[in-house]
Amino acid sequence: MAQYFDQLDKIAYEGADSTNPLAFKHYNASEKILGKTMAEHLRMAACYWHNFCWNGQDVFGQPTFNRPWLAGGDAMQQAKHKADVAFEFFSKLTIPYYCFHDTDVAPEGSGIKDYINNFAAMVDVLEQKQAETGVKLLWGTANLFSNPRYAAGAASNPDPQVFSYGATQVFHAMNATKRLGGENYVLWGGREGYETLLNTDLRQERAQLGRFMQMVVEHKHKIGFKGSLLIEPKPQEPTKHQYDYDSATVYGFLKQYGLEKEFRVNIEANHATLAGHSFHHEIATAISLGIFGSIDANRGDAQNGWDTDQFPNNVEELSLVMYEILKSGGFSTGGFNFDTKLRRQSMDRYDMFHGHIGGMDHLAMALKRAAALIEKDFLSAAVAKRYAGWSDSLGKAIQSGEHTLQSLAELTVRDQLDPQPVSGRQELLENQLNLVLYR
């Protein structure tokens, strides 16, 4: 088949002085940072859905992207055409991973048998494409939110038949992910929430969702899938409230159902801001709870209250995120997936490259700045100094359970404790941070 992106070859690293818009200025895959290459640190992926399934249509306007594989015709032939273009893009972008939903790569057809047969045929195609190009699967997932049957959710749906249909999709998507060598499996409950409490049984829906996740864990171990199971938090949109609101909420849910050792979180930057947090906060929270897994790298628009999925370009924020990740030992099975889409006015086919090149360069810039923070690490030194008392005898005794409220009250009076406030030196640390970020 003729190449779709026929006007360019592979994107190359040309350095910061390059004026070529179709070249990397900062992302040099083989450059070593803190003992690992950039590629090993960042583990970047491009998504199937926004890049190859969206036609530029929104609720106010018609499609703006002329994507031949989205035109009418035989659905399976168009799916194969889409796969050809997708892997051409991945290869020319030189990105090591990709991610997909089941219905991104295969048409659903007119019923469950069509879905199973179509998806199985396309998994054969994806397996061949991976072998030909060397592109690997970061994670797979099932789309349990687009079809009208999921209007009231999938696992949390009031109809057990919908629950069963969703379980069937996850069964096949997990099997496909394992076969394709996927390093994670993601569950995003896009509609696992409620529109109104007037018709919702919160206890019942949470119980259903808990059982669904337990079944996923059981199947993971049954088929011998060695990757991580990831839950992707999101607070709202499309539903009024969703059960996986943020990392802390997900952790509480996992604890309730005894699943905290089985799942991690896939954090999306734009979801973090919709929850009223910073991206940095969500990463640090997940790491502190021991459930950090992977990242959907994007950004929102501060003036819009919905999920805009723009390419990440805030190097300062990304640097702090990378700092947290590096401090915790880096990714294990996760990585940075560009869950990003072009603006509707960016309708040239090569705009897909411009968006991803920028995102990859911005992550590379953030990695280098985070490495500089690690090498000096005045932030860790300041934190250690601030909490030093907890390494002394009193702090250790409190933490180990040697004290009760009464014994602490007696000690405070006996020793006439009179602690004085100590400066947190926030402004100093902000100044020092910017000297590294903008050197």
Task: Give the bridge partners for 100, in sequence order.
Answer: 140
What would the two tokens of residue 307 be? Answer: 């999920």
The answer to the question of whether 307 is labelled as a binding residue is: yes
Helix (H) or strand (E) holding 169: helix 160-179
Tokens of 115: 């879905």
The answer to the question of whether 317 is labelled as a binding residue is: no
* 296 labeled binding residue: yes
Catalytic residue (one of 102, 104, 244, 361): 104
361 labelled catalytic: no
Task: From 216, 65, 40, 281, select the one nearest 27 (Cα to Cα).
Answer: 40
β-pair partners for 265: 231, 292
- Cβ atoms of residues 70 and 104 within 8 Å: no
Q: Is the dihedral of CA 82, 85, 88, 91 positive or negative?
A: negative
88 marked among binding-site residues = no
Q: Is 339 annotated as a binding residue?
A: yes
Asked whether residue 301 is marked as a ligand-binding residue, the answer is no
Question: How many Cα atoms within 13 Å fall on the side-chain side of residue 147?
Answer: 21
Q: Which of 41, 101, 219, 281 is catalytic?
A: 101
Counting Cα atoms < 13 Å in the Cβ hemisphere of 142 gives: 23
Spell out the residues 6+ positions from residue 261 whose beta carbon is closer than 8 angstroms to its own.
none
104 among known catalytic residues: yes
244 has binding-site annotation: no
Q: Copy the structure tokens of residue 431.
A: 């100044």
d(CA 102, CA 140): 8
Residues taking part in catalysis: 101, 104
Q: Which residues does the annotation place in the binding site for Mg(2+)?
A: 232, 268, 271, 296, 307, 309, 339
